[in-house]
Amino acid sequence: MSTSSPGKTELPFYCPVGGEVDLFERCYSQRLPLMLKGPTGCGKTRFVEHMAARLGKPLITVPCHDDTSAADLLGRWLVKGGDTVWQDGPVTRAVREGAILYLDEIAEARPDVVVAIHPLTDHRRHLFVDRRGEELTATDGFMLVVSFNPGYQRGWKELKPSTRQRFVAASFDYPAPDLEASILANETDCDEKVALRLVKLGNKLRELDELGLAERASTRLLVDAAHLITSGMPPRSACIAAIVEPLSDDPEILEALGEVVSLAF
């Protein structure tokens, strides 16, 4: 879990792709929960960080995984020096403080988490902290944002329609080539030529559907490769380490991806 507070620092860099900034602002002002759908590494988290800073709001981010239970999120009783003290979990804290709460990869969490946050998506914006017998109403300014990777046909978990329908939703995908190249150049100071080549390579790799990769080459991987290249690493090795190796462990697939890299650099 991480928390960021608004300060006078610069906004986290985010390059808008469509109408997402406007949509987020409207959801915030209308107190509507928002779901960001899209593959790994396409900018969802960065977008939320950017929007929280832009709106001057504290942001509480919770990466969800198989073990994430409602108790982790709502809070628990702890024994401290003979006393039992209550400790708020991140969801409870966000609700009390009126923060932006970002549940990253919500579908990965246990079903009881999803049940626990349902009342927060109602217009009353309630949270029932059952272990404490406390019912909270979200402080004005609270906003719930979740992310979800809809690659379910490749082994990702699905979200129930009854949960999905509680959110306003927006689809994210890897940015168009020009935009993605300017993101790489901005994130890493790599030169424009390198950025364009990496983006071209990324798109070539994304087309290789027949390899049955669980995920496509993300913007994040291209950013990592650009970092290695700007540090002076030979481009081919940088691309193998930052893009190819993270995508697969299968020797044949690695070889096929490596060939695409050697055509690009």
Could you list the residues that contact ligand ADP (CB under 6 A)? 13-15, 17, 38, 40-46, 175, 183, 187, 219-220, 223
Nearer to ligand ADP, 13 or 152 (CB): 13
d(CA 169, CA 138): 21
Cα-based distances in Å from 191 to 56, 181, 187, 224, 226: 33, 10, 11, 14, 9
Cα-based distances in Å from 106 to 65, 192, 252: 8, 36, 33
Q: Give the nearest distance from C-beta 44 to Mg ion in angstroms.
A: 5
Closest among 243, 251, 210, 214 to 226, alpha carbons compared: 243
Nearer to ligand ADP, 9 or 30 (CB): 9
Q: Can you read off the two tokens belonging to residue 133? A: 């017998």
Q: Give the nearest distance from C-beta 14 to ligand ADP in angstroms.
A: 4
d(CA 5, CA 39): 27
| Contact present, 188 and 182 (Cβ < 8 Å) | no
Coil, strand or helix: which one is 150? coil
Nearer to ligand ADP, 70 or 103 (CB): 103
| Contact present, 48 and 12 (Cβ < 8 Å) | no
Nearer to ligand ADP, 44 or 110 (CB): 44
Residue count of the chain, please give it. Answer: 265
Nearer to ligand ADP, 78 or 214 (CB): 214
Q: Give the nearest distance from C-beta 67 to Mg ion in angstroms.
A: 18
Q: Give the nearest distance from C-beta 88 to ligand ADP in angstroms.
A: 25
Q: Give the nearest distance from C-beta 3 to ligand ADP in angstroms.
A: 17
CB count in 10 Å sphere of residue 192: 11
The binder of 46, among Mg ion, ligand ADP, none, by C-beta within 5 to 8 A per type, is ligand ADP
| Burial state string for 207-222 with b = 16 or more CB within 10 A and e = fewer than 16 | ebeeeebebbbbbbbb
The binder of 14, among ligand ADP, Mg ion, none, by C-beta within 5 to 8 A per type, is ligand ADP
* Half-sphere exposure of residue 6: CA atoms within 13 angstroms, side-chain side: 13
Instruction: Give the interface with Mg ion as residue ranges (CB under 5 A).
Output: 45
Q: Give the nearest distance from C-beta 139 to ligand ADP in angstroms.
A: 26
Nearer to Mg ion, 45 or 219 (CB): 45
Q: Give the nearest distance from C-beta 221 to ligand ADP in angstroms.
A: 9
Q: Cβ-closest residue to ligand ADP? A: 43
The binder of 188, among ligand ADP, Mg ion, none, by C-beta within 5 to 8 A per type, is none
Nearer to ligand ADP, 42 or 127 (CB): 42
Q: Cβ-closest residue to Mg ion? A: 45
